[in-house]
Amino acid sequence: MASAGDPGNVALAPLEKMSVVRTGALYADGLGNVTGHTQTTINDQRGNTTLVDYPWTGTYTLNGDLAGTLSITPAPASYWLCTPPGCSGIEVGPESYAISVSLTYDSLNMIETDNIGGGGRIFMTGQALKR
């Protein structure tokens, strides 16, 4: 339950800071490797919000039914742009997703599947469109 000292209700989260909204881009090479770039808003336990802009790399697998997995690892914090300045390096971490590809709509659908450490967590969902 949210409180005056924890307006974002993240006290039990595995990290003291949590992503709330994201946008970004990814590039899959067709060989199981992916690179990307994400902008996310991070809320902390004191109601502060930081915009973190960071690159990442990862891997993916696809089964014959076009469902699979995606795992990403952010670049070190020295590559991030943070507004306001001063990211601590714990704002984002490795993530795992279940994915499915739609050839009809040229899209990738994804939902986060990890919850390392338990506690409250906002799971990300999203869709990537082919350009």
98-110 confidence digits (pLDDT tens): 999 998 888 889 9
Q: Before 55, cis peptide (omega within 30)?
A: no
Say what the pTM is. 0.76
Q: Cβ of 114: how many Cβ atoms within 10 Å?
A: 14
Q: How confident is the model at residue 86 (pLDDT cuts 50, 70, 90)?
A: confident
Give the containing element (helix H, strand E) for 38: strand 33-44
Model confidence pLDDT, tens digit, residues 108-122: 899 888 866 444 455
Of 10-14, 26-30, 45-49, 87-91, least confident by mean pLDDT is 10-14
Tally of CB atoms within 10 A around 71: 16
63 CB contacts (<8 Å, ≥6 apart)? Answer: none
Angstrom CA distances, 21 to 107, 124, 126, stand at: 20, 8, 11
Average pLDDT over residues 12-18: 58
Position 71 pLDDT exceeds 90: yes
Integer CA distances (angstroms), 26 to 17, 47, 77, 126, in order: 24, 30, 19, 12
pLDDT for 8: 54
